[in-house]
Amino acid sequence: MSDSPHDDATHHVLLIRHGQTEWSLTDRHTGRTDIDLTPKGEEDARALKGIENRAGLTNPWVMASPRKRAQRTAELAGLHVDETSELFAEWDYGDYEGLTRAQIHQQYDPDWTIWTGGGRNGESVSQMTTRVDSAVDHVEERFAKSDVIVVSHGHFSRSFICRFLGWPISQGANIDLRPAGSALLSDHAGDRRLVELRGPEGARPRRTSL
């Protein structure tokens, strides 16, 4: 991070997972498929309005995945997307796209998890780690000017939390982020923390102290 008058400030990243889709409702892996929100997903996205103020962010820069479920969530939450990038897209599941974990176990590998096996003919764990590291670097570059909101996806957001905190990406298996849920991260002079995990607005917040 370059020197700036803000280097001694506490910087924040607010990660928002898109609202419910038909595939997330049925636990189907949704990577590059461009699917829209369900009515419930739209309702939960609208409930996110004002989340930047509740998180204590002032004029944050909003980055988002190009997938319509993320873009629509940002729109309904009243967030103006300043930047859209494939860096923030969901894991590319390859052959596992559209399948549930149970189907993947039955058809391919009974011991498979995304955190250890990656996407067959999609993104490996190593490739996802590299991309998420680039996303973390990109967000860090913005810290000199403002806090950041990232509207994205479940596995991407859980991976981002891990890499932002310096953990292996496999630790994402231990993080639960529901549709329309959010995670607030902070950085103060290199001291990084997961400040809060929330479910959809109205759900009970889950606070952590690291």
Q: Is the pTM of this model over 0.85?
A: yes
Q: Give a yes or no: residue 207 inside a domain.
A: no
Q: Give a yes or no: residue 4 inside a domain.
A: no
Residue 4 scores a pLDDT above 70? no
> Are residues 129 and 166 in contact, defined by beta-carbon separation less than 8 angstroms?
no
The parent domain of residue 156 ranges over 10-198
- Residue 92 annotated in ligand binding: yes
pLDDT (tens digit per residue) in 169-187: 999 999 999 999 999 999 9
- Calculate the alpha carbon distances from 114 to 11, 93, 120, 125, 131 in Å: 30, 8, 10, 8, 15
- Residue 58 annotated in ligand binding: no
Q: Which residues are catalytic?
A: 18, 90
Q: Give a yes or no: residue 95 inside a domain.
A: yes
- Residue whose C-alpha is closest to residue 122's, from 27, 31, 2: 31
- Residue 90 annotated in ligand binding: yes
Q: Give a yes or no: residue 5 inside a domain.
A: no
Total domains in the chain come to 1
Q: Give a yes or no: residue 140 inside a domain.
A: yes
Q: Give a yes or no: residue 22 inside a domain.
A: yes
Q: Give a yes or no: residue 130 inside a domain.
A: yes
- Calculate the alpha carbon distances from 90 to 10, 41, 157, 188, 190 in Å: 28, 17, 8, 28, 27
161 Rama sector, left if φ>0, alpha if ψ -120 to 50, beta otherwise: alpha
pLDDT (tens digit per residue) in 66-113: 999 999 999 999 999 999 999 999 999 999 999 999 999 999 999 999
Task: Identify the pLDDT of residue 9.
Answer: 87
> Are residues 139 and 150 in contact, defined by beta-carbon separation less than 8 angstroms?
yes
Q: What is the dihedral of CA 148, 153, 154, 156, to 10 degrees?
A: -70
Q: Give a yes or no: residue 26 inside a domain.
A: yes
User: What's the CATH code of the domain at 89?
Assistant: 3.40.50.1240
- Residue 69 annotated in ligand binding: yes
